[in-house]
Amino acid sequence: MSLALPVLRRQPHALQHLLAPLQRWRASIPLTGLPASLHAIPTAFSLGALRLALPSLQSLLELLPPIVWAVPKKKVSHSRKSMREANKGIKDKLNIVSCSACGSPKLAHNICPRCVQELTATWKAEARNAVGGRR
């Protein structure tokens, strides 16, 4: 249908050729014993209604410039890329404290990794001894 739109705007009689099969189909339907919804099929469409339903070619062309503007025109150089990404560097951590149990450095409000490793190793050793003692 999109290929037929320019033809319909220039030559309204082309609409007649497109609607002829629909008119023949409607004429071949017997009107007795059918639901009322099928009786309401229009025999012809007005060209004005078709123009209201379909967007005009001019309105579609108005969308083209913003799409073209959004496309990069040239490749961004390495130096410009690095200037843009300069503020994305690694930030210094200011919330490093010493662990109260072992004294190793850790992040504030986090569990000390060294203490967790020691606890995990202790629990695994106890589990191995408990399984070995049951046998």
> What is the pLDDT averaged over residues 62-76?
77
Percent of the chain with pLDDT over 70: 51
Q: Is residue 10 predicted with pLDDT exceeding 70?
A: no
Q: Which long-range contacts (CB under 8 A, 24 or more apart) does 57-60 make?
A: 57/5, 57/6, 57/9
What was the pLDDT predicted at 86? 82
Angle 128-134-135 from CA coordinates, rounded to 5°: 95
What was the pLDDT predicted at 52? 54
More confident of the two residues 88 and 113: 113
Q: Is residue 111 predicted with pLDDT exceeding 60?
A: yes
Least confident of 41-45, 104-108, 129-133: 41-45
**9 and 65 housed in the same domain:** yes
> In the 3-class helix/strand/coil scheme, how is 8-76 assigned residue by residue?
HHHCCCHHHHHHHHHHHHHHHCCCCCCCHHHHCCCCCCCHHHHHHHCCCHHHHHHCHHHHHHCCCCCCC
52: tokens are 């209201």
* Domain assignment of residue 129, given as a range: 96-134
**26 and 64 housed in the same domain:** yes
Highest mean pLDDT among 40-54, 57-71, 83-97: 83-97
What was the pLDDT predicted at 43? 47
Cβ proximity of 50 and 12 under 8 Å: no
**58 and 22 housed in the same domain:** yes
Domain boundary among 69, 86, 120: 69
What was the pLDDT predicted at 34? 52
Cβ proximity of 4 and 16 under 8 Å: no
pLDDT band at 87 (very low <50, low <70, confident <90, very high): confident
Tell me the whole-structure pTM to 2 decimals: 0.36
In a domain, 82, yes or no: no
Domain count across the chain = 2
Measure CA 57 to chain center. 27
How far is Cα 49 from Cα 104, in angstroms, rounded to an integer?
Answer: 79
Dmax (CA) for the chain in angstroms is 97
